[in-house]
Amino acid sequence: MKYMDFYSAGKEWAPRDECGVFGIYAPGRDVARLTYFGLFALQHRGQESAGISVADGDVIITHKEMGLLYQVFHEEDLTGMRGHSAIGHTRYSTTGSSVLRNAQPIQVDSPYGPLAVAHNGNLLNAVELRAELQEEGVHFRGTNDSEVIARLIAHSRKPNLEEAVADSMTRMDGAYALTILSKDSVMGVRDPYGVRPLCVAELNDGGWVVASETCAMNVVGAAHATAIQPGEIVTIDAKGPCRRQAVPEIRPSLCSFEFIYLARPDSVMYGQTLHLARRRMGRFLASEHPAPGADIVIPIPDTAIAAAIGYAEGSGIPYGEGVIKSRYIHRTFIQPDQRMRTLGVRMKLTPLPEVLAGKSVVMVDDSIVRGTTTGSIVRLLRDAGAREVHVRISSPPVRFPCFYGIDMASRRELIAAAKSVEEIRRHIGADTLGYLSPEGLLEACDAGEDRYCRACFTGNYPIPVPEDQRLHKFSLEASGDRIEEGPEDRIS
């Protein structure tokens, strides 16, 4: 059974990243607890399962379960995980169903000793690689592409782990940001396009940290984070960090949705805080799509707050809170039919009639995917007395699916793939509708050049996507393999 996600019920079945990854090498520190804190800062990147692997120089211990971090880990779990290095993972599934055997980190045996791998992204050739490995006698326990990566590395015949990882990178097509744990090292690895973010920083009192976002660095006391470059391996052991360009950088293509929605606003990418980038998006949106005569600008919390502030700054229309978000609703095992999705919106968002009544409202949100939830929010505002509702979206129309690690529906489910902006406006019941242009998005990101993947807006995929995957996203469960639970599924 799939989760009904009340956590993002107010966010238009929002694009959700596959996961967050974290790694730490810090002898003498409580690495399991620090990993737990780092993962808490990355909880927004995945809420289906969580796991931590710890190495002490001889063995690796892994604990992982379904659920949020506070549900998976308790004091006795962390106390029992002692070592000098660790990696962790929070998951939202895009390849492989949401079951325990697909939770991460994935732990495997190898010629280099035990390994644990945590992965953010999607492999485009996972089906082919899995079939090749099976022909060579490799057995799989789960159905996700992350296990393909782990077993590909473990099955390498290279003389050492770093060479095995570098060799595997030449065989993998797609998006991946990895943390890899061995008995005596932690590695950070990024694909040659750099689609998914990954950075490294030094702890204030010794040791090093690798994480999906800089917000996880701040929590554990690491500073001066630098990005791991596309195609790079960073290996951290007793000698400190060693950086190696394992495969050539092809075309920097950081996912633009990291800037729009996915990453936390206090994270830094390309040298800028995402909160400021999102405020710029709002200012450009106000310039491109003004709302003359509007009385108030309101965000759909939380990820649209910065863009709404920017829209208010750019337009001169006062900013205010028009809806309150309940922050204590997470997940339930209710089936996500349309009736429950609508109920989820009303449980998650409460309008403020005293703010909205009789007003012409500019409602700022970060994206429209299917269109159903946005329409529900527009009705919510009208029911609270809003005279007019002008919807402004701080991203371009999402017309194409993502194949690089975001759960974003198929093309037939994307409302902008089939409808014009005017048709979408009528569908959601807004008085006016305006999207940020692709040019405005790029200028707001302010990286100095186009170093982003914008395929979900343009259909131009930087990493070629096979035609069969364009038609339907692949599933490793379709292979007919009989998956049996084994010892690695019960690691604790």
pLDDT digits (tens, 9 = 90+) for 10-21: 444 344 446 899
pLDDT for 283: 98
In eight-state DSSP terms, residue 327 is: S
List, in sequence order, every residue forming a beta bridge with 365; answer none if it has no partner. 393
Residue with tokens 């302010």: 446
Query: Which range in 26-35, 409-418, 462-471 is most confidently predicted, on average pLDDT?
Result: 26-35
**How does residue 335 score in pLDDT terms, banded at 50, 70 and 90?**
very low
**The amino acid at 427:** H
- Which contiguous run of DSSP H or E holds residue 410? none
Q: Is the peptide bond before 105 cis (omega within 30 degrees of 0)?
A: yes
Burial class (CB in 10 A: 0-12, 13-18, 19+), 96: buried
Residues 203, 208, 212, 213, Cα dihedral to 10°: 20
Asked if 115 contacts 150 with a C-beta cutoff of 8 angstroms, the reply is yes
pLDDT for 15: 44
**How does residue 467 score in pLDDT terms, banded at 50, 70 and 90?**
confident
pLDDT for 450: 81
**The amino acid at 358:** G
> What's the whole-number mean pLDDT along residues 399-408?
86
pLDDT digits (tens, 9 = 90+) for 341-392: 556 677 789 999 999 999 999 999 999 998 888 999 999 999 999 999 999 9
Quote the Cα angle for 47-49-50, to 5°.
100
Question: What topology is assigned to 269-461 in CATH?
Answer: Rossmann fold (3.40.50)
Q: What distance in Å separates the CA atoms of residue 97 and residue 48, rounded to the nearest whole number?
A: 10
Question: What topology is assigned to 4-253 in CATH?
Answer: Glutamine Phosphoribosylpyrophosphate, subunit 1, domain 1 (3.60.20)
Average pLDDT across the chain, whole number: 88
- Kindly list the distances between the CA atom of residue 392 and the CA atoms of 32, 285, 363, 367, 424, in Å, as whole numbers in the listed order: 43, 7, 6, 9, 12
Q: 411 pLDDT exceeds 80?
A: yes
R_g of the chain, CA atoms, integer Å: 22
Tokens of 152: 């590909």
> Among 44, 42, 49, 48, which residue's Cα sits nearest to residue 8?
44
**The amino acid at 211:** A
In eight-state DSSP terms, residue 229 is: P
Respond yes or no: is residue 19 known to be catalytic. yes
Q: Where are the domains of the chain?
A: 4-253, 269-461
pLDDT digits (tens, 9 = 90+) for 67-117: 999 999 999 999 999 999 999 999 875 444 556 778 999 999 999 999 999
Q: Is the peptide bond before 266 cis (omega within 30 degrees of 0)?
A: no
Half-sphere exposure of 392 (CA within 13 A, CB side): 33
Q: 334 pLDDT exceeds 60?
A: no
